[in-house]
């Protein structure tokens, strides 16, 4: 203890007078270092949060807007368009034939979206090439019947409020994997606020563990 004090004393005595300027310079250096560190951190943080997602995902517009709220109001339910078939498989997005129950070559209204739909698809008898937000990689097996029919789960749990939306968001494709952004989620850090924010393997397994006590075997979800 005393030795150290002595050393300090002798040290400061030696450099006394000539080193005062140097001391303040060192302090300045440290201050600048902290500022540069914070600056670099902010730049990295912003590019990671704002720039990286822009580079990683390419945005694709849907062929035209589809208004769920309006159509659910017309049909009264989801099942008239998204139903589980007799054999237990899911019909997914309805085919053009379903739309033609109401839409003919004469538009029902005057919106531009309906004009595009009528001219490009109804009149040409062409299926609409929708991008599927929740599309999983080909190796994944998913069954709607097991979840919505057997377990009575709500569509919102996994898809969010698409069924009540009036506007379609752009589809975002991961440039590296080719998968939809819905898999990794909107938050680049992988933070999840709602059950539908992300649908990675861990998210499926998390719910399976909670509901059944085990996360399941590989072959349950993989073909
Ligand atoms: C039960 C009847 C019915 C069915 C089935 C139906 N529609 Fe419609 N659709 C309507 C009605 C009614 C409107 C409103 C027209 C208006 O007044 O603007 C509409 C409007 C639209 C519009 C314009 C909406 C807007 O806000 O710009 C588009 C696009 C559209 N439908 C696409 C489709 C597609 C695609 C399908 C098939 C998946 C489909 N519709 C199935 C009745 C239906
Ligand atoms: C008139 C037919 C119609 C009705 C009724 C309807 N949908 Fe849809 N749904 C569509 C069409 C067409 C698409 C493809 C365009 C899109 O992504 O919105 C779609 C897409 C979806 C998707 C997106 C799938 C994906 O991952 O891309 C979800 C989720 C969905 N519907 C849920 C619902 C729910 C929940 C209801 C009832 C509240 C409902 N839909 C009622 C026609 C319909
Ligand atoms: C447990 C989660 C879960 C629930 C609940 C759920 N879905 Fe899905 N849905 C998914 C997954 C995962 C996919 C992608 C499947 C794939 O790519 O093989 C999907 C795909 C879809 C698609 C696109 C199908 C296609 O490939 O064309 C539609 C439409 C859809 N779901 C509508 C609904 C509706 C309507 C309900 C409620 C009746 C519902 N989903 C309930 C997880 C769920
Ligand atoms: C919010 C809860 C929840 C989420 C999220 C969820 N599941 Fe499930 N899943 C269940 C429940 C509950 C069952 C029924 C369990 C049982 O019967 O043992 C089930 C059953 C299944 C089955 C059928 C198992 C069988 O043998 O009949 C498959 C396959 C499956 N889930 C795949 C998936 C995949 C893939 C995902 C993610 C894309 C997913 N699930 C997301 C709750 C969920
Ligand atoms: C509850 C359903 C479920 C179970 C059980 C499951 N997986 Fe997965 N797995 C998924 C889903 C969904 C994806 C795609 C999303 C992702 O990449 O996280 C995936 C992706 C993968 C991938 C990456 C494939 C790619 O193309 O990105 C591998 C590898 C994989 N799983 C291996 C396994 C192995 C090994 C097991 C058994 C220990 C297993 N999985 C069990 C649902 C499941």
Alpha-carbon separation of residue 50 from 47, 53, 91, 167 (angstroms): 5, 6, 37, 23
What tens digit of pLDDT does each residue of 118-134 get?
999 999 999 999 999 99
Ligand positioned closest to the Cα atom of 91: 3
Tell me if 68 sits within 8 A of 162, measured CB to CB.
Answer: yes
Q: What is the pLDDT of residue 1?
A: 39
Q: Is the pLDDT of residue 48 over 60?
A: yes
- Tokens 């997005």 belong to 93
* Ligand 1 touching residue 99 (CB < 6 A): yes
Among 162, 154, 180, 157, smallest CA distance to 93 is for: 162
Q: What is the pLDDT of residue 50?
A: 78
Q: From the CA of 89, how far away is ligand 3's center (Å)?
A: 11
What tens digit of pLDDT does each residue of 15-40 get?
444 444 444 455 677 788 888 889 99
Q: Is the pLDDT of residue 84 over 50?
A: yes
CA distance 223 to 217: 12
Tell me if 60 sits within 8 A of 173, measured CB to CB.
Answer: yes
* Ligand 1 touching residue 103 (CB < 6 A): yes
What tens digit of pLDDT does each residue of 173-212 get?
999 999 999 998 888 777 889 999 999 999 999 999 999 9
* Residue 175 burial by Cβ neighbours in a 10 Å radius (0-12, 13-18, 19+): exposed
Ligand positioned closest to the Cα atom of 99: 1
Q: Among 21-30, 63-72, 90-99, 129-138, name the one with the lowest average pLDDT.
A: 21-30
Q: Say what percent of the chain tops pLDDT 90.
A: 67
Q: What is the pLDDT of residue 26?
A: 59
Q: Which protein residue's CA is at the shortest distance from atom 24 of ligand 3?
A: 92
């Amino acid at each position: 203890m005393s030795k150290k004090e002595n050393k300090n004393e002798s040290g400061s005595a030696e450099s006394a007078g000539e080193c005062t300027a140097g001391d303040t310079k060192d302090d300045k250096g440290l201050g600048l270092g902290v500022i540069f560190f914070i600056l670099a951190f902010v730049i990295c943080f912003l590019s990671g949060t704002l720039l990286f997602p822009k580079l990683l995902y390419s945005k694709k517009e849907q062929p035209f807007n589809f208004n769920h709220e309006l159509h659910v109001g017309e049909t009264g339910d989801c099942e008239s368009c998204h139903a589980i078939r007799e054999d237990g498989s899911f019909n997914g997005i309805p085919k053009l034939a379903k739309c033609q129950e109401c839409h003919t070559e004469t538009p029902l209204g005057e919106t531009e979206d309906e004009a595009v739909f009528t001219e490009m698809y109804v009149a040409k008898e062409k299926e609409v090439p929708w991008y599927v937000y929740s599309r999983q990689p080909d190796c994944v097996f998913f069954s709607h019947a097991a979840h919505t029919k057997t377990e009575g789960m709500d569509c919102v749990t996994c898809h969010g409020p698409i069924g009540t939306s009036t506007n379609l968001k752009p589809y975002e494709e991961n440039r590296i994997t080719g998968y939809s952004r819905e898999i990794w989620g909107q938050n680049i850090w992988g933070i999840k606020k709602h059950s539908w924010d992300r649908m990675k393997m861990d998210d499926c397994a998390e719910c399976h563990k909670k509901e059944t006590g085990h996360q399941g075997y590989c072959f349950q979800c993989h073909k």
